[in-house]
Chains A and B, each alone.
Chain A
């Protein structure tokens, strides 16, 4: 039920290698690059329910059966009668597996005739999930370009010019293709993607070389190139493609504008989906990947600066760099204590990078933001909402939910769109942990009393004075909802500009959070002062951080 091509993702349909849904129970497995998350899902009272879930380090040997057995043992232990009804009471009898696979980030080299073309091609490749290194004939000679392209870690070579090429590119296109053909001789099996005028050069390559030609004559050339690159990056049952499909399906079944923010160890994804303009119209979906936003990647001093700016743990710069490098080596380890604080800092930096790298998806706030991927599950749920509020300073009111059992990617691989919608629709209450409602206001003056909040829920309304520069927290547990009136002394931007707002708040583990801090957030320059400020916000929404 999707009509608009997503940059880097052709249709929002299930990825190749998709699953068809089995009988009354199944096991899901999200095979991430850092951890594997498994669940048991079964029909209970004619409805799909989540029965058990866990996550373990991505093991060195295949252990999906062992993981499923572990969960089934727990189901049997908790309710033997239910296990018997579902045919799960016999150890060793495993229900079918529905899995999504997180593929490690792959490296592509972009060789272009001009700097402008290189930048455009690198942006397209990055949006499709490739980490890129690029060079143009304007800056590097053929020897340096050959050295770049023949590195053993290069998984694809993209060679391009504009189409039609300008005068400078016309002279260089033939030489670039010849250079690429030379690289292909040295690196048998390296896929070559020829873009623009270079696409006509396929005959220069030896027979057996895998060459894909992508001329760009049409208006949707960019989308076509991204789709080609995304398909080449992804393997069967690719988790990120599946998340895009699941996002589109959620927008359809919930009839909400949905945004998914996924951060992991091998990549990051932002996807937006919204229902069609009229009932029955197809969902509109757009998605962009940002490989540079992977968790904990510190490839230069600027990247370390970004994490350090959010760090609330007392580490010097050298030690912080080492901790982040260890995080990349063993992301499943050291989750307790300041390991969680480290992840929260790294996650903020990654989220900022994801949002900055996917600006083409910016727009009005969605109704629902879903946090997905292993990185979000490595900190407590209420802290996840704070991380979102800290790093994504978008005025507006959104509901926030967490894909804590990492069900969305496996369910996104269900091939039949109607069946996927049916299963996801029934599993939403189990699959998405509600974190609460987040309202971010821009243009709030500093001061003790800038406005007032009234929450009507049940018989007793809650009144709260609002202070500028602070977070206002209202306890609103999962399952509860209420009407909120916000009144300010001066106009603020809450997605729309005004002084009085009426909105609907839904509850969650963090409740209702009204964020009256600066947009963008301004933090003290001095390290100690900055840590204190960040720590005070963490203490409010993350009470377990020091225990």
Chain B
């Protein structure tokens, strides 16, 4: 009987495994070091360490940063772009804008495919889909031969106006596949059938360059799981907060671009809901970076456009998350002007922090936390031993001596800079969105979030910090909470009044057929499938459109127009009932329902904590070194209340409860830390 759900989240430093037993409604976790050269090793290692019988697993879901990391590090195979003659540089010209409007030395990063690997072919289609110049097949074949000679097997085909007529792209793909049978070809109209060449080309190119690595990885993992006895589909979390199976990843790997990032945000929303906070900001701090997501009025923000780096848009609905280069492994250093900096460079998993003893000599946040006594010398339940003397040496040589500071002063300064950087980023997503962070709860998770959470909250004037039961695998838990989801779109431009309602209905039916086929392809039973129509509209002459729900049958369009006026007014505070409304795009979201785990609250019994596991000296800035109790997280039952300072250790994380705070364990086994001078 299959009764176990497994969720695996691969981070830069650790791979987290979350095991939920449907019978007991209990969750177990395992944490193993990530293996960047082949992330699957760590996944399988985690399965082994978690003593998971794959034959008993009902659902195996996975959030992966394989795609994100490949985009950041440009770890791509040799790839080529084939494009319309005259348009070789669409990827490099972009829209010409820069992220940094004023720093003339801060450039937009290079395109995903270099100029030398971009090739033109004669063909042209107009805005209406009519052929102006037929695809020159001789040229196309000669180009395919050239690509073969160059040894390229990863190819994006991106032609102008292909969203209106994809015939040339499709033909070009056939010619390439005839010449290079093992080539992986992405065409822009298939990946994203939308107008505007630059975002479409870039999305298709990202899809192409990710394909070999990402789908190769996903397929290998799926077959390893099957060999182990797993009979279900491997579910992969995608950027939009849904999941998909390897069959679709093969075609649309770019949808996994924000996979690992979405998981944490979904968990944040879940925790905020559990705790009864409408407004919460999550600080998901891992080994190399911190993800910040905002839950405002109970909802996460979804954006239609997402990018790993400025200037490289990926046009799919994506959960909005701000990622900054601050993590446990972020390197502290002294810059050319003699001031102390922290990140964004990271020691990563290799060589890792100095205290790992794996060759790192530069101090990281982890090293500073070890020196300050906040972090013990044993991590991941003893799987990893930290060498305090190496941390001390790194901080002494790199920071303390050049700045003329004591060792603990220097370590504290490193942590203070990291905390200020994170507080700034939280300000960016909250205050800049018009929210005052003081009205929010801070959800601290990720391997290092609970070490820093209370200090960051103090910096921001946030009164409450929530540390979930398994902070280090909170993201992984997000993978347990999602459905299969696919998004489809079709361009349809025309005035809503007098529009061909029957024609629109037909287009939706066609999208629905495609979507149903895809859900079936994903193995979703018909009764679990759910199709949601939406339509984007705008006042004629506007450039941006607004998505509203769309019904079916006669009168649906009229109703959608009414909804459009209402929603427009809600969002922008005005409406124009007399202005003609234009339809821009038809959307369909296909959802394959997956049963969710049900969590059971614990019984709350007011109590004091038992005897601490240990006591050690911990450095708290102006409070100096304090004798601090160290508790085992498992020993703290719901209802336990205590005051800081305290350190709470568990397999996947360490929580710092600083002096001048009160903490309690709630019914979901979250630690809630209340900052005294702020809350009182």
Q: Do A and B come from one complex?
A: no
